[in-house]
Homo-oligomer: A and B are copies of this chain.
Amino acid sequence: MSGTKNQIAETVEDYLKRASARVNAAMEKFLPSESEAPSDLHKAVRYSTFAGGKRLRPALALASFEACHGQGEDIWLAASALEMTHTFSLIHDDLPCMDDDDFRRGRPTNHKVFGEAIAILAGDSLLVFAFELLARTGRAECIATLARALGTKGMLGGQVVDIQSEGKKVGLDIVDYIHQHKTAALIEASLILGAQLAGADEETIAGLGAFGNKIGLAFQIVDDVLDLEQTTEALGKDAKSDLAKGKATYPAVLGIGASKDAARQLVEEAKLDLRKLAIQSSILELIADYIITRVN
C-alpha cells in the first residue's frame, strides 16, 4: 500500500474529515450546552473542545476499530474520550506556570479567555468527561487503558520531565522519554482502545499498540521539526516557540535532517509491525505515511 504524497494526503485527509465530523457530533451531543450551569465552565470546556484540531486520535481509534472489524457505536465514546483527554492536556500545558502559551489552534488559549482558575477546572472537567464516556462502554479494561496512558508513567509523567528539562542541555534519552510519555502514550492508547472495543485478540491489540507507539513518536518528532520550519500562521501557535523556551526536542539534539530520518525510520518500522498482523490495515499504513508527508 503506497501512493504519491498527494494521493496519501487526499485519502487520509478525507478519512480525518469523516472521523472528525462524527466525533464532533458525538462530543456536541454529550457535552452540556453553554447555557447550562455553571455556564462559564461549560463555555470554557466547549471553547477548547471545538477549537479545530485534526482529531488524529479519534481517527486512529476508528481506523484500529475498523481494521479489527469492530461493530457498533461505542467507538465514538472512546473517540470522544480520547479527544477530550487530548484537549485537557493542551489546556493545562498552556497555563502560565507550564508552557505559558497565548495561542493554540489560531486562537487565544483557554486561560487567556477564561482566566487561570476556570481553565484549570475546564481541563479537569474534560478529564472527568473522558472517563464518564468510557464508562458508558461498560468496559473497565478500556478505562484502564486510558488511565495507564495518562498517569504518572504516561502523559503526566512526560509533562513533568518536559517542564523540568526546559533550558537544560539534555540527551536523546530524555527527549525520547518526554515524547514517549507525553505524546506517544495517548496515540498508542488510541489504537489499543479501537482494537479493544472491536474485540480483537491480545496479539492484535499489542501489535496495534506497538504501531501506535512508533507513529506517535514519529508524529511528535515531525511536530518538533514543523515548529522550526513553519510560520506562526501555518501552525496556529507561536513558531519556533520550542527554541525560544529551550525545549527538549529531537532537532535540538539531532538537528533537523537526522530528526526527519528518525521519523521516517519509525514510520517504516511501524508499517512492518502492522503487516505482521492479520488485519485490514491499509488506512493505518496511509496515516503512518501521512505523518511523514508533513515534513517531506
Contact = CB atoms under 8 A, between A and B. Distances in A.
Interface range on chain A (Cβ under 8 Å from partner):
35 or more
A150 to B, nearest CB: 5
A15 interface: no
Contacts of A265: none
Contacts of A139: 140
Contact of A132 (B38, B95, B148): B148
Interface in A137-166: 137-141, 143-144, 146-148, 150-153, 156-157, 159-161, 163-164
A99 to B, nearest CB: 9
Interface stretch (A113-121, A235-243, A283-291): A113-121
Contacts of A147: 128-129, 131-132, 135
A interface SS class: helix
Contacts of A157: 37-38, 41
A160 B41 contact: yes
Contacts of A22: none
A214 B131 CA distance: 27
Interface string A66-97: 00000000000000000000000000100101
A127 interface: yes
Contact of A143 (B42, B116, B135): B135
B152 A32 contact: yes
A18 B147 CA distance: 29
A254 interface: no
A156 B125 contact: yes
B32 A124 contact: no
A163 B32 CA distance: 20
A263 to B, nearest CB: 25
6 contacts: A92-B124, A131-B143, A135-B141, A135-B143, A140-B143, A143-B143
